[in-house]
Amino acid sequence: MTEFHKEQCFINGEWLGKGQTPITNPANDVQIALVPNMGADETKKAIAAAKAAFGPWSKLLAKERSAILRKWYELIVANADELGALLTKEQGKPLAEAKGEIMYAASFVEFYAEEAKRIYGETIPSPYPDGRIVVIRQPIGVIAAITPWNFPAAMITRKVAPAFAAGCTAVVKPAPDTPLTAFALAALAQEAGLPDGVLNVISGDAQAIGGAMCESPDVRAMTFTGSTAVGKILIKQCADTVKQMGLELGGNAPFIVFDDADVDAAVQGAMVSKFRNAGQTCVCANRIFVQSGVYEEFSKKLTIEVEKMKVGFGDEDGVTQGPLINDAAVAKVERLVGDAVGKGASVTTGGKLHELGGRFYEPTVLTNVTKNMDMTTNEIFGPVAPLYKFETEDEVVELANATEFGLASYFYARDLGRVWRVAEALDYGMVCINSGILSTEVAPFGGVKESGIGREGSRHGIEEFTETKYMLMSGI
């Protein structure tokens, strides 16, 4: 049985570095680990290790890579309780959600263990009598992955599992707040038999590590989940080496409730979409538009549900919302709520720091929210549900699309014509109809406009880790 509570970085199969940077529990600031503070030199070593490992790993049979991924999946599932507890400690989300994330993370490893065997090419009818056209897909090479703190496990496996399935090797930089889950996943990958150098995990100076990743001509793809601002910097930094980019960036999700919706179902959908991970997801409902005929009913019912939430330490029984990740996150939520209330929004529940203090914020519902308030154009990334009133379908589609973002969108309606019209009109990479959650390993997750480039999950998630090679076989 692997001891996966590691406090060192993982380079070329070795656990390296000494504890320098404290990792604290966001619920109470208690130090839970000391991790290394690595930089450009160690990143270069990790890239070299990944480059050396690429040849042998990519030459394994797809079935052999698949078997190792399958074993990794089984180990993650077997250790889901402990991994969940570790994740709660470093990230703060309630245990049930943390374990849910571990299973979500595992699902990508399982899916791509299967998909490794299905990276098909094609043949194309040739225009030449003595020629045949064959297209194959080959692994792109070493990839760099930069992952966020809000999903410390799933955003790693959603990136590296398809990369490994394709035959690529990886250097991962987890978020500085949450490296322990990343180290634990690496320890389990090692136990599963992943060869040295295929996965490397480095934590430390974000700019130095990211800079070395971007500059290196040996890194052929950059995959990142995080803010649009950082995504734009990475695009610029990767330009000189013309890397493949996979970017999952910010969102500003509309959640629309039409008059013909099942209001109770819409309330349940809003609860999951808005309050999962204390509102700290890129796909969280950020603007809840409710048609005037059901506005009162929806706001009353949502307020009742929100008041049932239990805020507290993630490892306490019955807790449904943990702390926010850091002080800056709390300050941002306070500022946005203050701005909205100052401009005329009403608080039906919550609206302030929770009595536990620290980084605990009350689950909040705001009514009479209007588009001149700052939260309309900013990702709240906190447990605040702002309700906007609208009258017509055309009006709400225009409001929903009035953003530079285009990741997830949600709406509740029963009229079939409206369902098709609105789904097609929403300028988003993902449209979730009559449900509040759309994340699954079998579907392509990703955005349009400034929400990103590429898709993760499903068979599409493997595309950015392969190159398409056209071979003209002539002289036949």
- Applying CB under 6 A, the residues found at the interface with ligand SIN are 150-151, 225, 248, 281-283, 439, 445
Within 10 angstroms of residue 355's Cβ, the number of other Cβ atoms is: 8
Residue 434 tokens, joined: 């009559």
Nearer to ligand SIN, 12 or 150 (CB): 150
CA distances from 363 to 126, 319, 345, 378 (A): 62, 12, 16, 18
Of 143 and 282, which has the nearer Cβ to ligand SIN? 282
Q: Which of 9, 168, 238, 282 is catalytic?
A: 282
Beta carbon of residue 446, minimum distance to ligand SIN (angstroms, whole number): 10
Which residue, judged by CB position, is nearest to ligand SIN in the bound state?
439
CB nearer to ligand SIN: pick between 111 and 151: 151
Q: Which is nearer to ligand SIN, 25 or 150 (CB)?
A: 150
Q: Which of 42, 101, 115, 248 is catalytic?
A: 248
Q: How far is the CB of 251 from ligand SIN (least distance, A)?
A: 8
Nearest in space to 172 (alpha carbons), one of 104, 138, 238, 221? 221
Contact 117, 63 (CB under 8 A): yes
Rounded to 5°, angle at Cα 277 from 206 and 113: 70
Smallest separation, CB 281 to ligand SIN (Å): 4
- Least separation in angstroms between CB 252 and ligand SIN: 13
Contact partners, residue 80, CB within 8 Å, separation at least 6: 99, 102, 103, 106
Q: Which is nearer to ligand SIN, 175 or 186 (CB)?
A: 175
Which of residues 205 and 248 has its CB atom nearest to ligand SIN in the complex? 248
User: Is residue 381 within 8 Å of 404, Cβ to Cβ?
Assistant: no
Q: How far is the CB of 172 from ligand SIN (least distance, A)?
A: 16
Amino acid at 376: T
Smallest distance from ligand SIN to CB 325, Å: 12
Closer residue to ligand SIN in complex, CB, 192/270: 270
> Cβ 282 to ligand SIN, closest distance in Å?
4
Check if 238 is active-site. Answer: no
Measured between its terminal Cα atoms, the distance across the chain in Å is 56
Question: Helix 80-91 vs helix 179-192: angle between axes, to the nearest 10 degrees?
Answer: 160
| Residue 282 is among the residues annotated as catalytic for this protein | yes
Task: Identify which of residues 62 and 438 has a Cβ nearer to ligand SIN in the complex.
Answer: 438
* Listed residue (120, 111, 206, 122) closest to 164, CA to CA: 111
The least distance separating ligand SIN from the CB of residue 334, rounded to whole angstroms, comes to 22
CB of 283 to ligand SIN, least distance (A): 5
Between residues 109 and 282, which has the closer beta carbon with respect to ligand SIN?
282
Query: Which active-site residues does the annotation give?
Result: 248, 282
